[in-house]
Amino acid sequence: MPIQILPPQLANQIAAGEVVERPASVVKELVENSLDAGASHIEIEIEKGGSKLIRVRDNGSGIAEHELVLALSRHATSKITDLSDLEAICSLGFRGEALASISSVSRLTLTSRTAAQEAAWQASAEGRDMQVSVKPAAHPVGTSIEVLDLFFNTPARRKFLRTDKTEFGHIDELVKRLALSRFDVSWQLSHNGQTVRRLKAADTAEQRQKRVATLCGRAFAEQAAFIENQYGDVKIWGYIVAPQACPTQPGCQYSYVNGRMMRDKLLNHAIRQAYGDSLSAEQQPAFVLYLELDPRQVDVNVHPAKHEVRFHQARLIHDFIVSALSDALAQLSATPAAGHYV
Ligand code: ADP
Ligand code: MG
């Protein structure tokens, strides 16, 4: 076969292979875009576990009519312009690939309106060349993205979808993790027309406590103590359960780096080490922890789905977490009833 440049749709479908694993991955990308657009309210509607419909609606900044075509193109982003931006990422997205990838493996429509526009516009991309058509639509300021029939044109992927219940379970778990990352945003999640979660914006400590209790369960909220520690410009805060109260089932284990949810090895290792021998073999740590540091100190461009980060001063960060958490846990163990409960 001669060498040839792949048609855009196929190139996008290949890229989609890396980030669009299942409906929950689509929800993650769309919600992260809403958060990057400054939305304070996000509604997520799901039908049939996301295989029929995923709709994410936000009240963020919107996309201007003349940028709709670009928003659906690969390698098009409003979030970085040069390498120095990439080295200090504050937004959740920056690869400019999600919408192009998702629209290559579904029937995607993007409806949006900016505050400067009188009217809204709708765009969708189709076919081998991913030709975008744009037409007028009705929509308040903000954006709605509708993803129909995910993987309809990639049967190998579609085959890997599990039952609607399982897929929705993944979406619900993801929304939980996202809702714990942004207390200031109100959230709504529905499945097949039924509202499953409705969370008001939580501005006070008491409202945040309520959200943690709703999302992590009463037991966690009752046992967890609020902790906070800082070393230079590295800060850790959140909620952690004393070893004697840790559950035997894996429960709430959520960590975030600069607002981004993570399954980071270094972080998990540090948390485990802080608990040390105080947990029995059956017990699991329980925590919701937020690490905040200068964005120049972390590289988020490690994995396409951005589940992992690389810390420039890995040793220092690791040791800081271990010592901050060990101190907090020692205190909690000594005075189990005197913690500042969530
Ligand atoms: P990235 O998030 O990496 O920039 P995406 O493909 O996810 O790439 O989105 C492309 C661009 O479309 C974004 O950079 C942003 O400008 C715009 N965009 C996408 N979703 C939204 C949204 N919900 N609100 C406003 N702008 C959006
Ligand atoms: Mg994005």
Tokens coding 183 = 């207390």
Quote the ligand 1 centre to 74 CA distance (angstroms): 11
Cβ of 37 closer than 6 Å to ligand 1, yes or no, is yes
Q: Which atom of ligand 1 is nearest to the CA of 95?
A: 3
Burial (0-12, 13-18, 19+ Cβ within 10 Å), 118: exposed
Cβ of 61 closer than 6 Å to ligand 1, yes or no, is yes
Where would I find the beta strands (DSSP E) of 170-223? 186-191, 194-199
Quote the ligand 1 centre to 193 CA distance (angstroms): 27
Give, to the nearest 10 degrees, the angle between helix 265-275 and helix 314-334.
30
ipTM over 0.95: yes
Q: By C-alpha distance, which of 192, 164, 190 is closest to 44?
A: 190
Cβ of 142 closer than 6 Å to ligand 1, yes or no, is no
Q: Which atom of ligand 1 is nearest to the CA of 78?
A: 14
Cβ of 285 closer than 6 Å to ligand 1, yes or no, is no
Rounded Cα gap, residues 150 and 54, in angstroms:
9
Q: What is the DSSP pairing of strand 298-299 with strand 310-311?
A: antiparallel
| 3-class secondary-structure state, position 338 | coil
Distances (CA, A) of 148 to 105, 107, 109, 123: 10, 5, 9, 14
Question: In 10 A of CB 159, how many CB atoms?
Answer: 8
Q: Are the CB atoms for 142 and 57 separated by under 8 Å?
A: yes
Rounded Cα gap, residues 65 and 113, in angstroms:
8
Tokens coding 287 = 């925590």
Q: What is the pLDDT of residue 306?
A: 74
Q: What is this structure's pTM?
A: 0.95
Q: Which value, to the nearest 10 degrees, does the dihedral of the CA atoms of residues 300, 302, 307, 311 take?
A: -50
Encoded amino acid at 180, one letter: L
Rounded Cα gap, residues 181 and 289, in angstroms:
10
Pocket test for ligand 1, best of 57, 77, 80, 146 (most atoms within 8 A of CB): 77
Cβ of 71 closer than 6 Å to ligand 1, yes or no, is yes
Quote the ligand 2 centre to 79 CA distance (angstroms): 9
Nearest CA to ligand 1 atom 7: 98
Q: What number of CA atoms fall less than 13 Å from residue 14's CA on the CB side?
A: 5
Quote the ligand 2 centre to 114 CA distance (angstroms): 18
Rounded Cα gap, residues 150 and 107, in angstroms:
7
Q: What is the DSSP pairing of strand 224-231 with strand 234-241?
A: antiparallel
Quote the ligand 2 centre to 213 CA distance (angstroms): 29
Tokens coding 71 = 């928003």
Cβ of 93 closer than 6 Å to ligand 1, yes or no, is yes
Q: Which ligand is nearest to the CA of 99?
A: 1
Q: By C-alpha distance, which of 21, 1, 13 is closest to 128?
A: 13
Encoded amino acid at 248, one letter: T
Cβ of 22 closer than 6 Å to ligand 1, yes or no, is no
Rounded Cα gap, residues 201 and 207, in angstroms:
8
Tokens coding 137 = 């639509």
Where would I find the beta strands (DSSP E) of the chain? 41-47, 53-58, 107-113, 120-126, 131-137, 142-148, 186-191, 194-199, 224-231, 234-241, 253-257, 260-262, 287-292, 298-299, 310-311
Handedness of CA 180, 182, 188, 190 (dihedral sign): negative
Cβ of 227 closer than 6 Å to ligand 1, yes or no, is no
Cβ of 95 closer than 6 Å to ligand 1, yes or no, is yes
Write out the chain's pLDDT in tens, 342 residues: 999 999 999 999 999 998 899 999 999 999 999 999 999 999 999 999 999 999 999 999 999 999 999 999 999 999 999 999 999 999 999 999 999 999 999 999 999 999 999 999 999 999 999 999 999 999 999 999 999 999 999 999 999 999 999 999 999 999 999 999 999 999 999 999 999 999 999 999 999 999 999 999 999 999 999 999 999 999 999 999 999 999 998 889 999 999 999 888 899 999 999 999 899 989 999 999 999 999 999 999 888 777 888 999 999 999 999 999 999 999 888 765 544 444
Nearest CA to ligand 1 atom 16: 78
Rounded Cα gap, residues 204 and 224, in angstroms:
17
